[in-house]
Chains A and B, each alone.
Chain A
Amino acid sequence: RKEVEQDPGPFNVPEGATVAFNCTYSNSASQSFFWYRQDCRKEPKLLMSVYSSGNEDGRFTAQLNRASQYISLLIRDSKLSDSATYLCVVNSGTASKLTFGTGTRLQVTL
């Protein structure tokens, strides 16, 4: 079983739609959680950190459920520019090593 699991998609949604991605992690000792965004043939870039209380950044909302070892990302009012791969990322606490999921591909269409 992979340490971080995500549905690879693709998720094809129309502009303006709300879309949610889920992720599960297996290491209960994990301490920090993130969503990264990766455009085609580009490097991953931090989208947002994920906190236990849940956090929001504009159209993006992230949630963490430590008991279920589950992380989510909600994107409201999708834009064409949101099309990318969204990587669920967990810091195991060992020297800040990041463990990535395989990513969920989002395609927003007109």
Chain B
Amino acid sequence: GAGVSQSPRYKVAKRGQDVALRCDPISGHVSLFWYQQALGQGPEFLTYFQNEAQLDKSGLPSDRFFAERPEGSVSTLKIQRTQQEDSAVYLCASSLPVARSGGGTDTQYFGPGTRLTVL
């Protein structure tokens, strides 16, 4: 079946521009996560949704970052007034909750990411 998809795959923005990154999770997956991966680093948590509810946004680096998932499926990460330090790969992941997955852990499945370059 289809995995997690993200668009665009690559985005070049001029400093100060707003960008919107889209994530389509695996169908039926309740949980959705956004991560930021800088070059040479591991992914870092940004925010988490369970259905349409944003339950944790502690990782968002500033109020320029905003995420939504209004209907509990597709999610958008928006970055306003982009800055050079925002350049990174933005990864989306989805999972089933443990109780519904039947397993002992919430396996997160990652999309291919959006590589954002801010000039």
Give A residues with C-beta under 8 Å from B.
4, 8, 32, 34, 42-46, 49, 87, 91, 94-103
Contacts and interface: CB of A to CB of B under 8 A. Distances in A.
Interface of B: 31, 33, 35, 40-45, 48, 50, 55-56, 59, 91, 93, 95, 97-98, 104-113
Contacts of A98: 33, 35, 43, 45, 93, 108
Given A91-B106, A95-B55, A97-B56, A102 B41 contact: yes
A102 B42 contact: yes
A80 B90 CA distance: 28
Contact of B107 (A8, A46, A102): A46
B105 A97 contact: no
A23 B109 CA distance: 22
Contact of A45 (B31, B35, B97, B110): B110
14 contacts: A32-B106, A43-B91, A43-B110, A46-B108, A91-B106, A95-B55, A96-B95, A97-B33, A98-B35, A98-B43, A98-B45, A98-B108, A100-B42, A100-B44
Given A95-B50, A97-B33, A43 B105 contact: no
Interface centre among A43, A45, A49, A98 (most CB of B within 10 A): A43
Nearest to B95: A96
Nearest to A43: B110
A49 B105 contact: yes
Interface centre among B55, B59, B97, B105 (most CB of A within 10 A): B105
B111 A43 contact: yes
B30 to A, nearest CB: 11
